[in-house]
Amino acid sequence: MSIAKPNPHDSAVAHVSGVARYVDDIPLAGAVHLAFGLSTVAHARLAAVNLDAVRASDGVIDVLLAADLPGANDVSPSVHDEPMLAVNTVHFVGQPIFLVIAKSHRAARLAAQLGQIEYDVRPAVLSIDQALAADSKFEEPLQFLNGTPEAALAGAERQVQGVMEIGGQEHFYLEGQAAAALPNEGDVLVHASTQHPTEIQHKVAEALGLPMHSVRVETRRMGGGFGGKESQGNALAVACGVVAMRLNRPAKMRYDRDDDMIITGKRHDFRIKYQAGFDRTGRLQSVIFEQFARCGWAQDLSLPVADRAMLHADNAYHLPNVRITSHRLKTNTVSNTAFRGFGGPQGILGIERVMDHIAHDLGLDPLKVRRANFYGAGRDVTPYHMVVEDNVIPEIVDALERTSDYVARRAEIAKFNAQSPILKRGIALTPVKFGIAFTLTHLNQAGALVHVYSDGSIHLNHGGTEMGQGLFTKVAQVAAEVFGVGFGAVKITATDTGKVPNTSATAASSGTDLNGMACKVACEVIRARLIDFACDTWGVLPDQVRFKDGQVHLGDTSMPFAKLVNAAYLARVQLSATGFYKTPKIEWDRMAGKGRPFLYFSYGAAVSEVIIDTLSGENRILRTDILHDVGRSLNPALDLGQIEGAYVQGAGWLTTEELIWDDDGKLWTHAPSTYKIPTCSDRPKIFNVNLWARGENREDTIYKSKAVGEPPFNLGISVFMALSDAVASCGEAYPDLDAPATSERVLRSVDMEKGITW
Amino acid sequence: MGQIRFLLNGDMVVLDDPNPTDTLLDWLRDQGLTGTKEGCNEGDCGACTVSVGALCGGRISHRALNACIVFLPYLHGKSVRTIEGVSARDGRLHPVQAAMVEHHGSQCGFCTPGFVMSLYCAHLEGAQGFDDVLAGNLCRCTGYAPIMRAAEAATKQPQPDWVGDENADLQAMAAGDDITLEGAFLPASLDSFAQWYVENPDATIIAGATDLGLWVTKLMRDLLPSVFLHRLTELQQIEITPKGLRIGAGVTLTQLRDVITDHYADFGEMLRRYAAVQVRNSATIGGNIANGSPIGDSPPALIALGAMLTLRRGDERREILLEDFYISYGKQDRSAGEFIESLFIPAQPDVLACYKISKRFDQDISALNGCFNVTVKDGRVTAARIAFGGMSAMPQRATAVENALVNQPWNAATITMACTAFAQDYTPIADVRGTAAYRLRSAQNLLRRYFHESTNPLSQTRTVGRGAS
């Protein structure tokens, strides 16, 4: 068995030895280096662009403006509204205006600061309020409706309402955006740190006016992606492609960290307004959500992000009468983009806030209210009219409540708080139900290419990209499983648009579901040929041929896999195959808000206990218990790694990670000195993470596993709710925390509880 | 023409007239040693961590440093080890590497070389307490838990047989004369520096470069001419006498923390949270003071302790109270050619409390930083020295608050009165680290905390570090 084993990451030894190669590590003799000159204002017409000082700067070879580009000036992944270099107008602080080509990275960066730009400044729409006032939006508000929410709200025994501001999040992949391009006889090879090589290929081809077959994109690995390399690397790759072809020299580009944080999109910040009506047990009778997404200046992936926020406004709860309205606001800020969860976390945070608020209103344990609202028999239709067929949240929550000792600890915390004047604790259990599939149905396809060489070694390629999640390892385990060989027999190779074409981004947690299946199909094609060959040659029946432990068993005899393969080769059996997979069952009408956008749901739950300091608002996580459903795990070690990492990332989003813009639209938090992702001491002191042993995907996914990339990110919400619980212990009012719950916000809420405002 | 030399993964490197502000990271990567990564280029993420060995009292201390803000001249006479020089030449993994593999400590792998190097140094030095060892290494994938498991596992393993002793090589390089590079001076003695600086008062003094490094990597400046102080062992001494502590300006924050904790426990605790290991290993106390930043972590503590500075110009010296050194934002009482030679902390009972409030506990810059040194006799305040960072344009005493305390009974009513005095002392600004209102409110609360702690166990008020339950 190769699956279900905790194999280390296929590159682990290379990682710890420093030999794992990332784009900027690729030696490129004679390469030129690129940097963008950026807009310093949020909205303006370019009155005059004087680049004399840029050109005169040491080491500069050339400087390009939009007019110098040979083909399409567009790096948008969606609606062609994102020029790589600004044309006439700039739309946010940090928009690239010109491209410096220089002999070194530093020379390019230095020169890029020397542009003299005269701006004819226009009014800028920066905030959600300004966008609403200006009616600045990408499309009309979308709506999901089920039942009669207004009437049910009016008729409910009790109501709560509120508004919550939810901050965005910087990806802070440790490897910044990077690309390189090498010209070759009129074609170009691009190395890119991207989750979406096919899109890079597409955009570079358009920019050069070449057919896609003239552009090959290779991606061995990324130093982290998290959604931030789904579309945000397009500009660098296109710039490199254009310059490489223009100068007939290799070109390389990477953003300095500050540039990276200023230029590239982030998780969408949201405002969520809610009104909820419920009975005395806390069960919802109606909920009305209004979601406002600050999308930034270009559309990028904002529409599907905002869609997914709506699709997760229910989380694990049945909303009997519901209206969810979503506003997609256009602002003169960086174009927000994909980030692990893709809008889902904001939607989930909205309903978890409602649960928390209801519990506070009724004076109940929030877990009771959550339970009262879980999907269940006869209560299984989502706001988008999909039936939830695989609900396991009650079982997971029951188990976690027990193993985390939730009830006793909650009582103990109440006791602690009663006698602790300054430090207060809080605890919360939050569930997650996360829909798996791209909501844009056609993206749910994948391809693989498998070669078996005559010595029995296996070359594996597929359309997914490796960003640290262990996709390559899992897919290789699938190949090893089908052929019954050791993991080491499989060579995992860089994602390459020349090997598997027309791929989707590695996104939506779907990497293993899609590419694992495609790989399995390809391997099974080859295995079927080998079985046919064995039956013909040795007179056995197909069901007598088994591949196991590096051996092929033929009835009573066996031979090494390599021997069978070599014999098949000599008999002229084709030992290479492609595999293709498309996700079944899904169909979705986003305008109507109806259909089955997801094949299945991933579930999990977390209990977080926090402590807050009521004199400063400082806070930390004391203990976390997680139980998460990954179906039948393909690799428990990698799955645990995804869950632990996602949880901490989710907790960071809601606590210390604060993006701050000034009134002119300049991002103040553009470096790790000012933007604070969790450090090692921020992880929970006690951190118990378990895979749900009974997990199994009811759908026919790769070995019954479930997607794991995004769902556990939402477990970080338990930290936010635990903070709310701790603050609530300081007074009578509902804490009303906005996210992120920085020390300052926590202190302000604590003081509000005490009737002190500042 | 000048020359610097250092060991790189055991081999001697000689550089003729390197550009003095070229960074070690850029240089390594230009040599093809691309295992050391650039994550932020400002010393905040640790992806570029390398081990730098230097002679220290006859033995080599191995310190993790951020290669992105280490300038090449700083390496003269030292030993650099990068991720490429950690495993055996035949490929056997070092125990920290093996543990990282076994415990699934890498996901995307980009931060991994930095983590390995931090753990490599800790393993050599026998350091534990991995929350602190690794506070300067950011990972965005794992959530740190598997890395901590690896760290704990590796610490039990012996040094591998291929880790050699470079003592003799470093001894051989230790002595030497002043070095003059194009644009930079590397004095070998304090007198030599003092004289040179009188003649070159516009030169940039570079000690740990943890702030000046960013002037090069982010502000794109060249800092030339510059003078590097790291060879001046005279500046790196700490003298402990019955009268107090005399601390050389070139003492690193790591060295200071090791000593100060025994004298002023809370100062030590604050230094635990001063940036992170890599920064503390090169940043100097003189740099932290001279920099004049309103949010430097040491000055408020030192002001609260009544520290005196010794300033030197040529052969002339003068002493001033640290609080008088700061005149206004970016302006200090330091004449052309004058430099900080040492500081003196008078001996006193340890009633000092240091509180650092930042958005994140570790590796963060203070939003505010309050240090309290209040003497109470027979229930009455007899003396008070209170100083804050982050509350005004420079580190500054809270004179009005002190006045509201002195000669008053040490009780809740006095504290309440004194809290109102904060607004007289400070008009803080809003920035990325906090609003003005938050700063003022939490500064007042720090006094309340100090009062509470004077009669209650620290476990009632502290969530991290010293005294936390």
Average pLDDT estimate for A61-76? 98
| Among the partner residues A171, A173, A747, nearest to B438 by beta-carbon distance | A747
Q: Which residues of B touch A256 (CB under 8 A)?
A: 41, 218
Is B97 close to A17, i.e. CB distance below 8 A?
Answer: yes
B288 touches A: beta carbon within 8 Å: no
Q: How confident is the model at residue A10 (pLDDT cuts 50, 70, 90)?
A: very high
B5-51 pLDDT, tens digit per residue, is: 999 999 999 999 999 999 999 999 999 999 999 999 999 999 999 99
Substitution target from A681, A738, A751, A752 for chain B, most B beta carbons within 10 A: A681
Q: Which residues of B touch A20 (CB under 8 A)?
A: 109, 112
Q: How confident is the model at residue B165 (pLDDT cuts 50, 70, 90)?
A: confident
Q: What are the beta bridge partners of residue A136?
A: none
A624 touches A399 (CB < 8 A): no
Distance CA A533, CA A565 (A): 10
- Residue with the bigger pLDDT between B58 and A714: it is A714
What pLDDT sits at residue A272? 98
Model confidence at B175: pLDDT above 80? no
Distance CA B284, CA B296 (A): 12
To the nearest whole angstrom, how far is the Cα of B11 from the nearest Cα of chain A?
19
Average pLDDT estimate for B111-122? 98
What pLDDT sits at residue A119? 98
To the nearest whole angstrom, how far is the Cα of B271 from the nearest Cα of chain A?
16
To the nearest whole angstrom, how far is the Cα of B32 from the nearest Cα of chain A?
8
Query: Looking at the annotation, which residues of A are catalytic?
Result: 710
What pLDDT sits at residue B328? 95
Chain B residue with Cα closest to A749:
B438
B408 touches B419 (CB < 8 A): no
Q: SS3 letters for A222-262?
A: CCCCCCCCCCCCHHHHHHHHHHHHHHCCCEEEECCHHHHHH
Distance CA A200, CA A220 (A): 14
Task: Please give the interface size between A and B, counted as residue pairs whose CB atoms are below 8 Å apart.
Answer: 258
How do A322-330 and A284-296 pair as beta strands?
A: parallel
Chain B residue with Cα closest to A648:
B143
Average pLDDT estimate for B436-448? 98
Encoded tokens for B325: 């050194």
| Among the partner residues A19, A644, A679, nearest to B145 by beta-carbon distance | A644
A345: phi then psi, degrees, rounded to nearest 5: -60, -35
∠ CA A587-A588-A589, rounded to 5°: 140
What pLDDT sits at residue B75? 97
Average pLDDT estimate for A532-545? 97
To the nearest whole angstrom, how far is the Cα of B97 from the nearest Cα of chain A?
5
Distance CA A128, CA A139 (A): 15
Is A9 close to B445, i.e. CB distance below 8 A?
Answer: no
| Among the partner residues B106, B134, B432, nearest to A669 by beta-carbon distance | B432
What pLDDT sits at residue B469? 79
Nearest to B444 by CA among B460, B467, B428: B428
What pLDDT sits at residue B220? 96
Q: How confident is the model at residue A24 (pLDDT cuts 50, 70, 90)?
A: very high
Encoded tokens for A258: 């500050």
Substitution target from A679, A687, A748 for chain B, most B beta carbons within 10 A: A679
Query: Chain-wide mean pLDDT for chain B?
Result: 97
Q: What are the beta bridge partners of residue A605?
A: A431, A627
Q: Which residues of A touch B47 (CB under 8 A)?
A: 174
Radius of gyration of chain A (CA): 27
B363 touches A: beta carbon within 8 Å: yes
Q: What are the beta bridge partners of residue A517?
A: none
Per DSSP, the three-state class of A472 is helix
What pLDDT sits at residue B1? 80
- Residue with the bigger pLDDT between A78 and B58: it is A78
Distance CA B440, CA B427 (A): 8
Distance CA A545, CA A543 (A): 5
Q: How confident is the model at residue B163 (pLDDT cuts 50, 70, 90)?
A: confident
What pLDDT sits at residue A563? 98
B303-349 pLDDT, tens digit per residue, is: 999 999 999 999 999 999 999 999 999 999 999 999 999 999 999 99
B109 touches A: beta carbon within 8 Å: yes
User: Cα dihedral sign for A643, A648, A652, A654?
Assistant: positive
To the nearest whole angstrom, how far is the Cα of B22 from the nearest Cα of chain A?
11
B83 touches A: beta carbon within 8 Å: yes
Is A758 close to B445, i.e. CB distance below 8 A?
Answer: no
Q: Please, is B455 exposed, middle or buried when counting C-beta atoms within 10 Å of its C-beta (0-12, 13-18, 19+)? A: exposed
B27: phi then psi, degrees, rounded to nearest 5: -65, -45
To the nearest whole angstrom, how far is the Cα of A50 from the nearest Cα of chain B?
21
Substitution target from B108, B147, B277, B450 for chain A, most A beta carbons within 10 A: B108
DSSP per residue, A56-96: HSTTEEEEE-GGG-SS-----SSSS---SS--SEE-STT-E
| Among the partner residues A22, A422, A671, nearest to B44 by beta-carbon distance | A671
| Among the partner residues B108, B135, B359, nearest to A223 by beta-carbon distance | B108
Is A672 close to B138, i.e. CB distance below 8 A?
Answer: yes
| Among the partner residues B83, B108, B361, nearest to A468 by beta-carbon distance | B108
Chain B residue with Cα closest to A13:
B101
What pLDDT sits at residue B170? 92
DSSP summary character for residue A344 = H
Is A468 close to B138, i.e. CB distance below 8 A?
Answer: no
B252-276 pLDDT, tens digit per residue, is: 999 999 999 999 999 999 999 999 9
Rounded alpha-carbon distances, angstroms, from residue A604 to A308, A313, A391, A398: 18, 16, 11, 11
Nearest to B325 by CA among B270, B383, B271, B396: B396
∠ CA A261-A265-A269, rounded to 5°: 105
| Beta strand extents in B20-112 (DSSP E only) | 49-56, 59-66, 79-81
Q: Which residues of A touch B367 (CB under 8 A)?
A: 743-744
| Beta strand extents in A630-755 (DSSP E only) | 686-691
Q: SS3 letters for A247-313?
A: HCCCEEEECCHHHHHHHCCCECEEEEEEEEEECCCCCEEEEEEEEEEEEECCCCCHHHHHHHHHHCC
Is B361 close to A674, i.e. CB distance below 8 A?
Answer: no
Q: SS3 letters for B159-206?
A: CCCCCCCCHHHHHHHHCCCCEEECCEEECCCHHHHHHHHHHCCCCEEE
Model confidence at A1: pLDDT above 80? no
Give the containing element (helix H, strand E) for B340: strand B338-346
Chain B residue with Cα closest to A471:
B107
Query: Chain-wide mean pLDDT for chain A?
Result: 98
What pLDDT sits at residue A531? 98
What pLDDT sits at residue B176? 87
Radius of gyration of chain B (CA): 23
Listed by number, the residues of chain B in 26-45 with a beta carbon closer than 8 Å to a beta carbon of chain A are 26, 29, 32, 34-42, 44-45
B438 touches A: beta carbon within 8 Å: yes
Model confidence at B164: pLDDT above 90? no
Amino acid at B130: F
Q: What's the first-to-final CA gap in chain A, in angstroms? A: 62
B212-253 pLDDT, tens digit per residue, is: 999 999 999 999 999 999 999 999 999 999 999 999 999 999
To the nearest whole angstrom, how far is the Cα of A539 from the nearest Cα of chain B?
45
Give the torsion through C-alpha atoms of A225, A226, A227, A228, to 10 deg: -50
A579-611 pLDDT, tens digit per residue, is: 999 999 999 999 999 999 999 999 999 999 999
Model confidence at A474: pLDDT above 80? yes
Furthest C-alpha separation in chain B? 72
- Give the sheet arrangement for strand B316-321, strand by strand: B238-241, B244-248, B338-346, B308-313, B316-321
Average pLDDT estimate for A255-278? 98
B371 touches B352 (CB < 8 A): yes
Peptide bond between residue A740 and the one before it cis (omega within 30 degrees of 0):
yes
